[in-house]
Structure 1
Amino acid sequence: MKKITYILVLLCATSFSFAQQTPAPAQTEAITIEGATAHLGNGKVIENSLLMFEAGKITFVGDAKMRIARKGTIINATGKHVYPGFIAPAKSLGLVEVDAVRASDDQDEIGDMIPHIRSLIAYNAESKVVESMRPNGVLLGQIAPQGGRISGTSSIVQFDAWNWEDAAVKVDDGIHMNWPNSFKQGRWWMGEERGFKPNEKYTEELDEITTFFKNAMAYGKAAAPEMNLAYKAMSGLFDGNQKLYIYTDGEKEIIDAVTLAKANGVKEIVIVGGYRAYKITDFLKENNIAVLINFTHNNPNFEDDDYDLPYKNPKLLFDAGVLVGIQNASAANFQTRNLPFYAGQTVGQGLDKEAALQLITGNTAKILGIDADYGTLEVGKSATLFISEGDALDTRSNQLTHAYIDGRDLSLETHQTELWKRYMRKYEGKK
């Protein structure tokens, strides 16, 4: 009996040591951050700032020289920087834990046209991958399904919750769609020539998409005798309550996708990826299309591309006046923690540092439709923010001291920080 009890205690201790940090309690006392350089996320900076928040909402943002009563706990952040929480769009965070373990992979369901698949109900709020985002300032994310032609419906969550219900910030915000390519690469392993050639099925694939959209629109207008979950899930695209996120890169594909979607009643469209979007910026602006550009730490896709195209792509779109944010849908989930450094890369390409910050704060919040509450440090918005020792877009100085979601004081400890401390003690000769 003693042996069994010992084993149970050991298992409990092991489970506890590897459990996610307990979500922070609701804010009960006002907090004042004084002296920090405040980066507001809308292009503005306050060098010697005073920021106060209460009951999860920002109540004051201004200069610390102003004669105004400080409230609650006062944090002296002189020499430090305060930022709005970074936002990671179009990611399957919380839907897959270990790629090699099928039981932990919920990012792709069976089927090709499945807009009714809701990613939110599969979201694992206790994911160690999700938890590892917070120490770099990534506090919010759009949890998106993957695979198929129409992958399903995304939702936006905050990264400190007991479950998906607690995590939800905006439920079923958009539908995600993978656009076909007009060219395909030769399958050399099957005896085909290397290189690219026209996709003979491209027109056929577009016809299938058109038929599905028309049927979905007709379903919403008529009293159908039978329930069709897929068609019903599309209704938000036609009344403007949801956005259509189209994953595609080429100029022709982007133009075809936007043209087809608008012709079939879709109100709000966002391009995800957009590798060649910089070539058709006039078209994007005319049609009010935002772009979630792919991450900058990447190689060029084609031999004749500029070697630094992935680095400067966000700047090309920003300078052209396109509403642009940064995503990394094609990268592994754990790389999402590098989101601030993708934005920092654009500074080296000549983009203003505060404009680069907008790519992962204010701009992304606008694209996702959560800018009324998140993305910038403004009075009345959610107190979702963090304090860093230095420049949060720089890998060397992004060192968080405090982080808050809706005013709740977060733990910055993760499974990784625990391992780091454990092995640092080993190599420093400490027990």
Structure 2
Amino acid sequence: MKNQFILIVLSFFILGNINAQQTPASKQTKDYSIVGATAHIGNGKIIENSLLVFSNGKLTYVGNNTSSNQKGEIINAKGKHVYPGFIAANTSLGLAEIDAVRATRDFDEVGNFLPHIRSIIAYNAESKVVETMRPNGVLIAQITPRGGTISGTSSVVQLDAWNWEDAVINLDDAVHINWPSTFSRGRWWLGEDASLKPNKNYSKAVNTITDFFTKAKTYLSGSKTPKNLPYEALEKVFSGTQKVFVHVNGEKAIVDVINNFNKLNIKNIVLVKAHGAHKVAELIKNNNVPVILERSHRLPDNEDQDYDLPYRMAKILTDKGILVGLGMEGEMERMSARNLPFYAGTYAAYGLDKEKAVQIITSNNAKILGIDAKTGTLEVGKDATLFISEGDALDMRTNIISNAFIQGRKISLETHQTKLWKRYSNKYKNQ
């Protein structure tokens, strides 16, 4: 019986190691030089025949290829392309593993006003879904809660870590609010009219949000008794050191968001999704409000809109002078986050300059998430978080990554998907 028990334990141990995510890369101990690649800096600039050198996790040289500046291990990238690590904003990556299994879903807490709930505590660095991001160049993500009126706080992580403490880059970067819709549909399952009509409760819902912030401001400027955790969680919002991401759609709702937060003297806001933003672009620009767009691969909101409006939205807003980033909220959002570069590629196919499309998922997202001092561009002094692609990284046909680094650590590009691909490729090769 004892031997049988030992065999069972060993079997679980072996199977666990077979199925587990690969071990995170160790700290960089030797210098690297990437030689000859076309370097996409992430700020709109390109360097042909470039040289990138990094040591102790930081870039020490970025410029033209000269042998005198090469040091450490040489990586010949002639004919290839090097990019900053792509950054996925507004994603619940690592907060759920299998959509159909409730026990693996931890992105939505019970309650309605939860600014004190921190998504980072629930982040699973060993998620099988997380490891599938890296072969497409997605190396950083903003882990965002869902649900309620105030969902909680997000944090920004790098995607090769033992746990959330190792992963975090920007802790509790923003509070997320779901702004009410100006329109609603009836509940057809209760026999109500399911057509779209004005939301009768819109004003009441908006007043509830502004009242909550007003009471929090009063509480924070007073004796703070009795203790109120949700109110205390907004202290950094009022001081301007923490951002407010407002998930909102429709031009009237966008105008209401900006006007109401101006009255509350909260300036550091970001609009998320923001369907209809092109109709109130001047207001958004004049208030210096960035926009995190939804994925480009979707249908227009209304029947009278151009079929390709979602594809052109990044160019429209960029041309208006608005800082635009790209988020991943929506159906299958965790699994689809690996396609981040291809959504940006669609914006490029519909008029946006190719390097500006790269900026949307590198330097622009970095600025909006407050990590641009560390990453987002290939510049001396910043983290060596980057990858080498065989071709255009925004094209799924040519985004074939040979090497990737996070903070100078050479990371594995193997996943359970690549293992299955190799396995069945060999099967049919031998037939």
Structure 1 residues 294-333: aligned runs within 5 Å: 294-332=294-332, 333=334
In the alignment, structure 1 residue 416 sits paired with structure 2 residue 417: yes
Match of 2:183 in 1: 183
Match of 2:222 in 1: 222
Shift of 1:191: 2.8
Letter in 1 for 2:150: I
How far, CA to CA, are the matches of 2:69 and 2:91 in structure 1?
A: 42
The C-alpha deviation readout for 1:54-92, integer Å capped at 9, x for no partner, is: 00000001011x353311000000000000000001111
Structure 1 residues 32-111: aligned runs within 5 Å: 32-64=33-65, 66=66, 68-111=68-111
How far, CA to CA, are the matches of 2:260 and 2:299 in structure 1?
A: 30
The SS at the match of 1:68 is: helix
How far, CA to CA, are the matches of 2:275 and 2:405 in structure 1?
A: 34
Match of 1:115 in 2: 115
Letter in 2 for 1:189: W
Shift of 1:2: 4.2
Match of 2:247 in 1: 247
How far, CA to CA, are the matches of 2:145 and 2:69 in structure 1?
A: 47
Shift of 1:421: 1.5
Could you list the runs of 5+ residues in structure 2 that have no partner in the other structure?
A: none
Letter in 1 for 2:382: K
How far, CA to CA, are the matches of 1:336 and 1:356 in structure 2?
A: 16
The C-alpha deviation readout for 1:119-148, integer Å capped at 9, x for no partner, is: 011110000111110000000000010000
Match of 2:356 in 1: 355
How far, CA to CA, are the matches of 1:261 and 1:349 in structure 2?
A: 33
Match of 1:394 in 2: 395
How far, CA to CA, are the matches of 2:379 and 2:312 in structure 1?
A: 29
How far, CA to CA, are the matches of 1:395 and 1:406 in structure 2?
A: 25
How far, CA to CA, are the matches of 2:53 and 2:137 in structure 1?
A: 19
Asked if the contact 1:239/1:267 (under 8 Å) is kept, the reply is no
The C-alpha deviation readout for 1:338-391, integer Å capped at 9, x for no partner, is: 000000001111111101100100111011111001100000000000000111
How far, CA to CA, are the matches of 1:96 and 1:8 in structure 2?
A: 27
Q: Which 10-residue stretch deviates more, 134-143 or 411-420?
A: 411-420
Shift of 1:173: 0.5
The SS at the match of 1:380 is: coil
The SS at the match of 2:69 is: coil
Q: Tell me how many residue pairs correspond in the alignment.
A: 429
Match of 2:256 in 1: 256
Letter in 2 for 1:40: I
The C-alpha deviation readout for 1:134-193, integer Å capped at 9, x for no partner, is: 000000000010000000011100000000000010101100000001111233333333
Letter in 2 for 1:330: G
How far, CA to CA, are the matches of 1:208 and 1:239 in structure 2?
A: 22
The SS at the match of 1:412 is: coil
How far, CA to CA, are the matches of 1:427 and 1:3 in structure 2?
A: 38
Letter in 1 for 2:99: D
How far, CA to CA, are the matches of 1:187 and 1:303 in structure 2?
A: 22
Asked if the contact 1:275/1:313 (under 8 Å) is kept, the reply is no
How far, CA to CA, are the matches of 2:13 and 2:190 in structure 1?
A: 52
How far, CA to CA, are the matches of 2:115 and 2:339 in structure 1?
A: 29
Could you list the runs of 5+ residues in structure 1 that have no partner in the other structure?
A: none
Asked if the contact 1:187/1:193 (under 8 Å) is kept, the reply is yes
Match of 1:426 in 2: 427
How far, CA to CA, are the matches of 1:331 and 1:352 in structure 2?
A: 28
How far, CA to CA, are the matches of 1:331 and 1:409 in structure 2?
A: 32
Match of 2:385 in 1: 384
Percent sequence identity is 54
How far, CA to CA, are the matches of 1:195 and 1:396 in structure 2?
A: 41
Asked if the contact 1:237/1:267 (under 8 Å) is kept, the reply is no
Shift of 1:425: 2.1
In the alignment, structure 1 residue 20 sits paired with structure 2 residue 57: no
Asked if the contact 1:237/1:265 (under 8 Å) is kept, the reply is no
